[in-house]
């Protein structure tokens, strides 16, 4: 278990640093109020997690440890949106359309609500 935690944690560190660098670069390159940096990392992270799982399933070239390091660690540190996108895609492939819609709807609504409540809780103090 310690080995797995170290793999995920070190991957998360790398992913978080990469996220900061990409967002910083995008902010410097495109001065706009639109969150170009976040959009970029979310789309890039979604592509990378799809690539990781697809190559792993097709070729078996990645061990379980490498998948954890790359997908959960690096992609998870880079963006949690990548996991959301992959899980939604897998449910679509299983034709679980109700659960896909529920998962996507709840994720968006509850995420926005949680953000609002977090902001509100500070404003009330």
**Number of independent structural domains in the chain:** 1
Taking only the tens place, the pLDDT of each residue in 77-109 is 998 788 889 889 999 999 999 999 999 999 999
107 within a domain of the structure (yes/no): no
Which two three-digit tokens encode residue 43? 């789309």
pLDDT tens digits in sequence order for the chain, 125 residues long = 999 999 999 999 999 999 999 999 998 999 887 888 888 998 999 899 989 988 888 888 999 999 999 999 999 999 878 888 988 999 999 999 999 999 999 999 998 998 888 888 888 87
3-state secondary structure (DSSP) of residue 59: helix
Indicate if the alpha-carbon torsion angle 9, 51, 21, 84 is positive or negative.
Answer: negative
pTM attached to this predicted model: 0.78
48 within a domain of the structure (yes/no): yes
The pLDDT of residue 77? 95
100 within a domain of the structure (yes/no): no
123 within a domain of the structure (yes/no): no
87 within a domain of the structure (yes/no): no
The pLDDT of residue 83? 83
11 within a domain of the structure (yes/no): yes
113 within a domain of the structure (yes/no): no
Domain limits at 12? 2-79
The pLDDT of residue 110? 92
The helix-helix angle for 81-93 and 36-59 (nearest 10°) equals 50
106 within a domain of the structure (yes/no): no
> How far apart, in whole angstroms, are the C-alpha atoms of residue 83 and residue 74?
11
């Amino acid at each position: 278990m310690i080995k797995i935690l170290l793999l995920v944690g070190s991957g998360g560190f790398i992913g978080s640093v990469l996220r900061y660098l990409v967002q910083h670069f995008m902010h410097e390159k495109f001065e706009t109020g639109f969150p170009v940096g976040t959009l970029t990392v979310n789309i890039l992270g979604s592509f990378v997690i799809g690539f990781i799982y697809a190559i792993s399933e097709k070729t078996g070239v990645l061990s379980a440890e490498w998948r954890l390091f790359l997908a959960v660690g690096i992609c998870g540190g880079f963006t949690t949106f990548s996991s959301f996108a992959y899980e939604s895609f897998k449910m679509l492939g299983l034709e679980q359309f109700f659960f896909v819609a529920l998962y996507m709807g709840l994720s968006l609504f509850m995420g926005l609500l949680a953000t609002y409540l977090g902001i509100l809780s500070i404003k009330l103090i």
